[in-house]
Structure 1
Amino acid sequence: MNEETKGLRLEDFAGQAYDKLRYGDTDRQGHVNNAVFATFMETGRVELIYNPDDPLLGDGFSFVLAKLDINYIAEVLWPGTVEIGTRVTRVGRSSVTMQQAVFQNGRLCASAETVVVHFDQTTRKSQAFSDEQRAKLEGWISAG
């Protein structure tokens, strides 16, 4: 854990989601397998950027994952749930950098830096954000 992640709390994040742990998520050591953490991060991103009540994307557009850098801090144990925090740290021309964190029972278990790119499904290329999209994304920089 470094100074940037020390003291992180779920309340520090604009986006807050949770995942139920499955027995199949565990490995031979009895804790949740490291590969499952990528799924936790996906849940957090999707809950924030694909909110059907407040859509960010127009038809024919999506986000593609460009980077996922996970720091494993503590074990996650089955059974139970995890809470996932997601917030925007930087908005580029067509990409968004996010900080994410996974908590179990209030304890920080992992943090991540995630980059997604705004993607035009017709041209199969990145697409610059509109002013409206940029304003919404920048609003997610601070905690919710």
Structure 2
Amino acid sequence: MTDPTTAGQPVPFTHVVEDTLRVSDLDFQRHMGNTAFTQVFANARFAFLSDEVRPIVGFDVILALVKLDVEFKGQVHYPAVLRTGTRLEKVGRTSMTLLQEMSVDGRVVATSRSVFVHTDRASGKSIPWPDAVHELASPVLAETAAVPS
């Protein structure tokens, strides 16, 4: 999976999960319902954060989802296997943006961009990301910077 919007060149997604479309994900037209898209994206975000970010920051902090954008690009019909790629798009001082792409048989059906804020559980205030989280984004940012415009 690649993100065709980054400097006009594909940047690979670093984390990919597969889901099988369930009957409960369907609307009356046997299409995947809009809320099911958001649930599949949520599962993939959870897997990415569990595998990549939680080992660094632990569970004493809150990863607060503060923004979620979903762009629907195509229909999904039952049965289907959904592949969802997730990668860090950028890491700021206290916020982090994830980019996701969902595809079926190589066809992009939806994209998502989400923003998380690293939050102290006791005070509820945002706190800086550790350097190791910034380093998770470094390979993607370095590859993006290396692409000629």
- TM-score between the two structures when normalised by the length of structure 2: 0.80
Deviations 1:45-91, CA, capped at 9 Å, x for gaps: 11112118x71322311311111111101011222320101111111
Equivalent runs, 1:13-52 vs 2, <5 Å: 13-51=13-51
Equivalent in the alignment of 1:63:
63
Q: Which has the higher contact order (CA 8 A, sep 6+)?
A: 1
Amino acid at match of 2:119: F
Equivalent in the alignment of 2:147:
none
Q: Whose helix fraction is larger, Structure 1's or Structure 2's?
A: 2
TM-align CA RMSD? 2.6
Aligned residues: 138
Amino acid at match of 2:30: G
The structural deviation recorded for 1:8 is 9.4
Per mean C-alpha deviation after superposition, the further-off stretch among 79-88 and 55-64 is: 55-64
Distance 1:65 1:4 in 2: 23
Equivalent in the alignment of 1:129:
129
Query: In structure 2, the residue corresponding to 1:51 is in which secondary structure?
Result: helix
- Identity within the alignment, %: 29
Asked if structure 2 preserves the Cα contact closer than 8 Å seen for 1:8 and 1:108, the reply is: no
Any gaps of 5 or more consecutive residues in structure 2? 145-149
Any gaps of 5 or more consecutive residues in structure 1? none
